[in-house]
Chain A
Amino acid sequence: RKEVEQDPGPFNVPEGATVAFNCTYSNSASQSFFWYRQDCRKEPKLLMSVYSSGNEDGRFTAQLNRASQYISLLIRDSKLSDSATYLCVVLGLGGGSYIPKFGRGTSLIVHP
Protein backbone atom coordinates (compact mmCIF):
# COMPACT_ATOMS: atom_id res chain seq x y z
CA ARG A 1 0.00 0.00 0.00
CA LYS A 2 1.36 3.40 -0.96
CA GLU A 3 1.95 5.85 1.88
CA VAL A 4 -0.33 8.50 0.40
CA GLU A 5 -2.92 7.65 -2.21
CA GLN A 6 -5.13 9.83 -4.34
CA ASP A 7 -7.50 9.10 -7.19
CA PRO A 8 -5.68 10.65 -10.18
CA GLY A 9 -8.96 11.51 -11.94
CA PRO A 10 -9.49 13.54 -13.98
CA PHE A 11 -12.60 14.85 -12.35
CA ASN A 12 -14.48 16.63 -15.11
CA VAL A 13 -17.18 18.94 -13.71
CA PRO A 14 -19.26 21.87 -14.97
CA GLU A 15 -18.91 25.33 -13.55
CA GLY A 16 -20.88 25.74 -10.35
CA ALA A 17 -20.62 22.09 -9.37
CA THR A 18 -19.46 20.79 -6.02
CA VAL A 19 -16.61 18.31 -6.14
CA ALA A 20 -14.79 16.37 -3.45
CA PHE A 21 -11.46 14.59 -3.37
CA ASN A 22 -10.14 12.14 -0.82
CA CYS A 23 -6.59 11.24 0.08
CA THR A 24 -5.74 8.21 2.20
CA TYR A 25 -2.56 7.74 4.18
CA SER A 26 -1.01 4.67 5.72
CA ASN A 27 1.08 6.05 8.59
CA SER A 28 -1.19 6.35 11.59
CA ALA A 29 1.42 8.50 13.33
CA SER A 30 1.15 11.23 10.69
CA GLN A 31 0.99 14.67 12.25
CA SER A 32 0.41 17.38 9.68
CA PHE A 33 -1.68 17.49 6.55
CA PHE A 34 -1.91 19.89 3.67
CA TRP A 35 -3.57 20.40 0.31
CA TYR A 36 -1.51 21.99 -2.45
CA ARG A 37 -2.58 23.14 -5.86
CA GLN A 38 -0.34 22.65 -8.88
CA ASP A 39 -0.99 24.18 -12.29
CA CYS A 40 0.46 22.43 -15.30
CA ARG A 41 4.22 21.90 -14.74
CA LYS A 42 4.41 24.83 -12.33
CA GLU A 43 5.39 24.77 -8.70
CA PRO A 44 2.93 23.49 -6.11
CA LYS A 45 1.35 26.19 -3.98
CA LEU A 46 -0.27 25.74 -0.61
CA LEU A 47 -4.04 25.73 -0.81
CA MET A 48 -4.79 25.03 2.82
CA SER A 49 -3.64 23.22 5.90
CA VAL A 50 -5.90 20.53 7.31
CA TYR A 51 -6.62 20.70 11.00
CA SER A 52 -8.17 18.06 13.22
CA SER A 53 -11.29 20.19 13.55
CA GLY A 54 -11.47 20.77 9.82
CA ASN A 55 -11.17 24.16 8.20
CA GLU A 56 -12.86 26.26 5.60
CA ASP A 57 -11.56 28.98 3.32
CA GLY A 58 -14.21 30.46 1.09
CA ARG A 59 -15.39 27.78 -1.30
CA PHE A 60 -12.86 25.25 -0.02
CA THR A 61 -13.34 22.94 2.95
CA ALA A 62 -10.79 20.46 4.22
CA GLN A 63 -11.48 17.65 6.66
CA LEU A 64 -9.34 15.12 8.50
CA ASN A 65 -10.60 11.70 9.53
CA ARG A 66 -7.93 10.12 11.70
CA ALA A 67 -9.92 6.97 12.43
CA SER A 68 -10.16 6.11 8.75
CA GLN A 69 -6.86 7.79 7.87
CA TYR A 70 -7.95 10.10 5.13
CA ILE A 71 -8.23 13.78 4.39
CA SER A 72 -10.72 15.37 2.07
CA LEU A 73 -11.07 18.53 0.05
CA LEU A 74 -14.45 19.90 -0.94
CA ILE A 75 -14.76 22.62 -3.57
CA ARG A 76 -18.12 24.34 -3.87
CA ASP A 77 -19.33 26.45 -6.79
CA SER A 78 -16.43 25.37 -9.00
CA LYS A 79 -14.82 28.01 -11.22
CA LEU A 80 -12.94 27.53 -14.47
CA SER A 81 -9.87 28.79 -12.63
CA ASP A 82 -10.08 25.85 -10.21
CA SER A 83 -8.84 23.56 -12.98
CA ALA A 84 -5.54 22.20 -11.68
CA THR A 85 -3.99 19.22 -9.98
CA TYR A 86 -4.56 18.96 -6.24
CA LEU A 87 -1.84 17.33 -4.18
CA CYS A 88 -2.27 16.07 -0.67
CA VAL A 89 0.75 16.08 1.62
CA VAL A 90 1.09 14.10 4.80
CA LEU A 91 3.90 14.58 7.28
CA GLY A 92 4.84 11.42 9.10
CA LEU A 93 7.54 10.76 11.61
CA GLY A 94 10.37 8.75 10.12
CA GLY A 95 13.89 8.26 11.43
CA GLY A 96 13.36 10.93 14.06
CA SER A 97 12.26 13.57 11.59
CA TYR A 98 9.07 14.58 9.85
CA ILE A 99 9.12 13.45 6.25
CA PRO A 100 6.58 14.91 3.83
CA LYS A 101 4.90 12.39 1.58
CA PHE A 102 3.06 13.61 -1.47
CA GLY A 103 0.17 12.00 -3.18
CA ARG A 104 0.38 11.78 -6.96
CA GLY A 105 -2.34 14.36 -7.29
CA THR A 106 -5.94 14.54 -8.45
CA SER A 107 -6.64 16.34 -11.69
CA LEU A 108 -9.66 18.62 -11.79
CA ILE A 109 -11.09 20.02 -15.01
CA VAL A 110 -13.89 22.55 -14.72
CA HIS A 111 -15.70 23.18 -17.99
CA PRO A 112 -18.19 25.90 -18.99
Chain B
Amino acid sequence: EAQVTQNPRYLITVTGKKLTVTCSQNMNHEYMSWYRQDPGLGLRQIYYSMNVEVTDKGDVPEGYKVSRKEKRNFPLILESPSPNQTSLYFCASSSTNRAEQYFGPGTRLTVT
Protein backbone atom coordinates (compact mmCIF):
# COMPACT_ATOMS: atom_id res chain seq x y z
CA GLU B 1 0.00 0.00 0.00
CA ALA B 2 1.36 3.39 -1.02
CA GLN B 3 1.74 5.51 2.06
CA VAL B 4 3.61 8.07 4.10
CA THR B 5 4.32 7.06 7.67
CA GLN B 6 5.32 9.23 10.60
CA ASN B 7 6.52 8.35 14.06
CA PRO B 8 5.71 9.01 16.77
CA ARG B 9 2.07 9.96 16.33
CA TYR B 10 1.89 11.66 19.70
CA LEU B 11 4.72 13.10 21.77
CA ILE B 12 4.86 15.12 24.96
CA THR B 13 8.29 16.43 25.84
CA VAL B 14 10.00 19.15 27.84
CA THR B 15 11.75 22.28 26.71
CA GLY B 16 15.27 21.67 25.45
CA LYS B 17 15.12 17.91 25.04
CA LYS B 18 16.18 17.04 21.51
CA LEU B 19 13.73 14.99 19.50
CA THR B 20 13.34 13.53 16.03
CA VAL B 21 10.14 12.83 14.15
CA THR B 22 10.63 10.27 11.41
CA CYS B 23 8.94 10.29 8.03
CA SER B 24 9.10 7.58 5.42
CA GLN B 25 7.41 7.09 2.04
CA ASN B 26 7.26 3.98 -0.14
CA MET B 27 6.27 5.63 -3.42
CA ASN B 28 9.76 6.49 -4.64
CA HIS B 29 8.85 10.17 -4.53
CA GLU B 30 11.57 12.73 -5.03
CA TYR B 31 9.89 15.62 -3.26
CA MET B 32 9.23 15.59 0.47
CA SER B 33 8.28 18.31 2.90
CA TRP B 34 7.32 19.06 6.47
CA TYR B 35 4.43 21.24 7.60
CA ARG B 36 3.06 22.42 10.86
CA GLN B 37 -0.60 23.19 11.36
CA ASP B 38 -1.81 25.58 14.02
CA PRO B 39 -5.35 26.83 14.70
CA GLY B 40 -6.15 29.89 12.64
CA LEU B 41 -2.87 29.71 10.74
CA GLY B 42 -3.38 26.78 8.45
CA LEU B 43 -0.58 24.60 7.11
CA ARG B 44 2.83 26.22 6.91
CA GLN B 45 5.84 24.63 5.28
CA ILE B 46 8.89 24.14 7.49
CA TYR B 47 11.42 22.52 5.15
CA TYR B 48 11.33 20.69 1.88
CA SER B 49 13.60 18.42 -0.11
CA MET B 50 13.75 18.12 -3.88
CA ASN B 51 15.85 14.97 -3.75
CA VAL B 52 18.51 13.14 -1.77
CA GLU B 53 20.94 15.57 -0.11
CA VAL B 54 18.92 18.56 -1.37
CA THR B 55 16.96 20.44 1.27
CA ASP B 56 15.71 23.99 1.58
CA LYS B 57 13.85 26.23 3.99
CA GLY B 58 10.14 26.74 3.81
CA ASP B 59 8.18 29.52 5.46
CA VAL B 60 8.89 28.69 9.12
CA PRO B 61 12.27 26.89 9.40
CA GLU B 62 13.50 28.45 12.64
CA GLY B 63 14.15 25.88 15.34
CA TYR B 64 14.05 22.88 12.98
CA LYS B 65 16.53 20.81 11.04
CA VAL B 66 16.05 18.13 8.43
CA SER B 67 18.16 15.66 6.51
CA ARG B 68 17.64 13.62 3.39
CA LYS B 69 20.23 10.88 3.25
CA GLU B 70 17.92 8.39 1.56
CA LYS B 71 15.11 8.98 -0.88
CA ARG B 72 12.45 7.39 1.30
CA ASN B 73 13.25 9.10 4.63
CA PHE B 74 13.00 12.72 5.69
CA PRO B 75 13.34 13.15 9.47
CA LEU B 76 12.48 16.38 11.25
CA ILE B 77 14.81 17.31 14.10
CA LEU B 78 14.11 19.71 16.92
CA GLU B 79 17.47 20.31 18.60
CA SER B 80 16.05 22.32 21.50
CA PRO B 81 12.25 22.27 21.46
CA SER B 82 10.35 25.19 22.90
CA PRO B 83 6.66 25.55 23.83
CA ASN B 84 5.95 27.57 20.68
CA GLN B 85 6.75 24.43 18.69
CA THR B 86 3.72 22.70 20.15
CA SER B 87 1.76 21.88 17.03
CA LEU B 88 0.42 19.23 14.66
CA TYR B 89 3.12 18.21 12.20
CA PHE B 90 2.59 16.61 8.79
CA CYS B 91 5.10 15.08 6.46
CA ALA B 92 4.21 14.93 2.78
CA SER B 93 5.68 13.56 -0.43
CA SER B 94 5.05 13.94 -4.13
CA SER B 95 6.57 12.72 -7.36
CA THR B 96 7.65 16.25 -8.29
CA ASN B 97 7.40 19.62 -6.65
CA ARG B 98 4.44 20.45 -8.88
CA ALA B 99 2.39 17.34 -8.30
CA GLU B 100 -0.21 16.58 -5.69
CA GLN B 101 1.16 15.73 -2.27
CA TYR B 102 0.47 12.69 -0.12
CA PHE B 103 0.41 13.36 3.59
CA GLY B 104 1.39 11.27 6.56
CA PRO B 105 -1.08 10.82 9.43
CA GLY B 106 0.41 13.62 11.51
CA THR B 107 2.40 13.94 14.72
CA ARG B 108 0.88 15.84 17.60
CA LEU B 109 3.74 17.40 19.57
CA THR B 110 3.39 19.11 22.94
CA VAL B 111 6.38 20.88 24.46
CA THR B 112 6.02 21.86 28.12
Contacts and interface: CB of A to CB of B under 8 A. Distances in A.
Interface of A: 31-32, 34, 41-46, 49, 87, 89, 91, 95, 97-100, 102-105
Looking at chain A's contact residues, is the secondary structure mostly helix, strand, loop, or mixed? strand
A97 B43 contact: no
19 contacts: A31-B98, A32-B98, A34-B100, A41-B88, A41-B106, A42-B105, A42-B106, A43-B103, A46-B100, A46-B102, A49-B100, A87-B43, A91-B98, A95-B56, A97-B48, A99-B48, A102-B35, A102-B44, A104-B42
B32 interface: no
A31 B96 CA distance: 13
Contact of A44 (B43, B97, B98): B43
A100 B46 CA distance: 11
6 tightest A-B contacts by CB? Answer: A104-B42, A43-B103, A102-B43, A46-B100, A98-B97, A32-B98
A87 B42 CA distance: 9
B82 to A, nearest CB: 22
Contacts of B99: 32
Interface in B89-109: 90, 97-106, 108
Contacts of A105: 42
B61 interface: no
A106 to B, nearest CB: 11
Contacts of A44: 43, 90, 103
Contacts of A89: 101
Contacts of B56: 95, 97
B101 A100 contact: yes
A14 B99 CA distance: 34
Contacts of B35: 102
A60 B22 CA distance: 35
Interface string B47-87: 01010000010110000000000000000000000000000
Given A44-B90, A46-B100, A102-B42, 19 more contacts: A32-B98, A32-B99, A34-B100, A42-B106, A43-B105, A44-B43, A44-B103, A45-B103, A91-B97, A95-B56, A97-B50, A97-B56, A98-B98, A99-B58, A100-B33, A100-B45, A102-B35, A104-B41, A104-B42
